[in-house]
Amino acid sequence: MAYSDKVIDHYENPRNVGKLDDADDNVGTGMVGAPACGDVMRLQIQVNDDGVIEDAKFKTYGCGSAIASSSLLTEWVKGKNLDEAAAIKNTEIAQELSLPPVKIHCSVLAEDAIKAAVQNYRDKQGS
Amino acid sequence: MNAPVTVQTPIYLDYLSTTPVDPRVVEVMSACLSTEGVFGNPASRSHVFGWKAEEAVENARNQVAELINADPREIVWTSGATESDNLAIKGVAHFYHKKGKHIITSKIEHKAVLDTCRQLEREGYEVTYLDPDEQGLTTPDMVQAAIREDTILVSVMHANNEIGVVNDVAGIGEICRAAGVLLHVDAAQGAGKVRLDMETMKVDLLSMSAHKMYGPKGIGALYVRRKPRVRLEAQMHGGGHERGMRSGTLATHQLVGFGEAARIAREEMDSEAGRLSGLRQRFWDAISDIAEVHINGDRDQRLPGALNVSFAFVEGESLIMSLRDLAISSGSACTSASLEPSYVLRALGLNDEMAHSSLRFSFGRFTTEAEVDHAAQCVRHAVEKLRELSPLWDMYQDGVDLNTIEWAAH
């Protein structure tokens, strides 16, 4: 299977790999997927007092497209507010990375991950 | 530090999927194509071109028969192991259907066997699919327990194409013969690598393929026992070649290549097996200290050059992507187009995650120690890099039991 140059770039030089402190109330964590399906994404965002995402980290177990989708996502969400981040569509990711049809689910997973991270942050703030 | 040895990349470590044609084989094949060569139709009886071609084909038949210690009259040429499997299984089922309609096979056979059995099920036959043990072996006891009054055929592979384990076909043969049931063995992977002897093994039909033993693609053979005689209903009808069992003009150059490949395999089997086991061990020694790596399938009862390894917490496809220097597969070439985890590894009891994290390395005639060393180094780097990226590895290191987590399956 031929990967696009952008997928290869993100795969070889993944951006924002790492972990944020889950115990911090300003950190929202989204973990989606399942090992049995071959993809698990963990996306974390750190939100400042103005509701803007100032840092994002990820770790992904999965194919090159899954890794690239989450890496790209961390770049995109930085500097966005929560509503903007949660509005990112999987189709935008798939288009940017030129994902083939069999890999569209990777971009769907990335969309699910940012939505889950935003939700987690909001739950923490609400409690 | 060892002095760096330069190796040419990509390194081919996928000999179970196919092999390059041995230069000695290329030579004899080329002599069967041109005007000056043996280009005739082996079935032409009226001139010397045909006679020469027939002689070349019969010489190849002898060579292939010798590889498995059979009579040359027991060798039927086919287009490859897939056709051999089809001819053996459908041929027996259709010929002996009045005797019974039950067939026994295993869950980890090649698709050429499994799909043929599925077709027979659609035709009204009943098929029992045996579960292999955790080592991937199908044992004589398992076969014995599954044989019924109406069983006509057992089809069990010699060596498995994904994990490389080798079944005790001699033992299974004893059981089948005693029960009066025919035994077909798909030996596409094992023939030419492990000694097979039709004089002593009670195997009735045996499928072989040239391209797995440094011969050309597109040619294979089915061994069909004469004593006691095995009958088949032909699947390919036409000019009545191969004693009516398989019509079609014989491809002289392909057959001569297969014959030469079989000759070399037989003569060099012991030394090659020793060398390949050594390379396999060298590779394993160089990666076995990585945390959480596991060999799939029996460690001893296996093909000399084959190793299937699971690297927990990294995903197979991304592992292959980062191993661009290596030509390897995450299972069989025949199923790697799908995203499903290997049905073979699932049948061994591996969970989906481990099945997703597995790679097949197969070493062969042209693999060097330097290539093996480089491959091991690449694997170490790739696993390390991907574990850095893996949330599962993080959790494992934090002592989280992944089985206790409720995953959102998608």
How many other CB atoms are found less than 10 A from the CB of residue B321? 21
Does residue B33 belong to the interface with chain A, where contact is any CB pair within 8 Å? no
pLDDT tens sequence across B72-131: 999 999 999 999 999 999 999 999 999 999 999 999 999 999 999 999 999 999 999 999
Q: How high does pLDDT run on average in chain A?
A: 94
Write out the H or E segment, with its range, that includes residue B375. Answer: helix B369-389
Query: Which one of A34, A60, A61 has the shortest CB-CB distance to B409?
Result: A34
* Cβ distance of A63 and B388 shorter than 8 Å: no
Percent of chain B with pLDDT over 90: 88
Residue B141 CA to residue B281 CA, distance in Å, equals 31
- Give the CB-side neighbour count of residue B393, counting CA atoms within 13 A: 24
Residues of A in contact with B351 (CB under 8 A): 35-36
Judged by phi (left if over 0) then psi (alpha if -120 to 50, else beta), residue B71 lies in beta
Residue B86 CA to residue B238 CA, distance in Å, equals 17
| Both structure tokens of B263 | 């000759």
pTM of the model: 0.91
Residues of B in contact with A9 (CB under 8 A): none
| Both structure tokens of A120 | 């987690």
Average confidence (pLDDT) over B134-151:
98
> First and final CA of chain A: distance in angstroms?
46
Strands B126-130 and B151-157: unpaired
Q: Which one, of B125, B155, B161, lies nearest residue B143 by Cα?
A: B155
Residues of B in contact with A108 (CB under 8 A): 410
CA distance A78 to chain B (A): 19
C-alpha to C-alpha distances, B48 to B44, B53, B55, B250, B352, nearest whole angstrom: 9, 8, 10, 16, 60
| Both structure tokens of B20 | 């390059």
Pairs of CB atoms within 8 A across A/B: 82
Write down the ipTM of this complex.
0.93
CB contact at 8 A, A71 and A56: no
CB contact at 8 A, B87 and B133: no
Q: Tell me: pLDDT of B338 over 60.
A: no
Residue B123 is classified by DSSP as T
Does residue B388 belong to the interface with chain A, where contact is any CB pair within 8 Å? yes
- pLDDT band with cut points at 50, 70 and 90 for residue B71: very high
CB contact at 8 A, B220 and B83: yes
| Both structure tokens of B63 | 């060579």
SS3 state at B311: strand
Does residue B311 belong to the interface with chain A, where contact is any CB pair within 8 Å? no
Amino acid at position B241, single letter? H
Strands A27-34 and A39-47: antiparallel
- What is the DSSP annotation of B133-146? -TTS---HHHHHHH
Best of A61, A90, A99 to disrupt the B interface by mutation (most B CBs within 10 Å)? A61
| Both structure tokens of B49 | 């071109």
Strands B102-106 and B126-130: parallel
Catalytic residue check, B117: no
The pLDDT of residue B166 is 98
Active-site hit among B32, B117, B176, B334: B334
Residue A96 is classified by DSSP as H
Residues of B in contact with A14 (CB under 8 A): 389
CA distance B112 to chain A (A): 24
* Cβ distance of A19 and B394 shorter than 8 Å: yes
The pLDDT of residue B348 is 92
* Cβ distance of B390 and A31 shorter than 8 Å: no
Strands B151-157 and B182-186: parallel
- pLDDT band with cut points at 50, 70 and 90 for residue B334: very low
Q: Which one, of A93, A101, A95, A36, lies nearest residue A67 by Cα?
A: A93
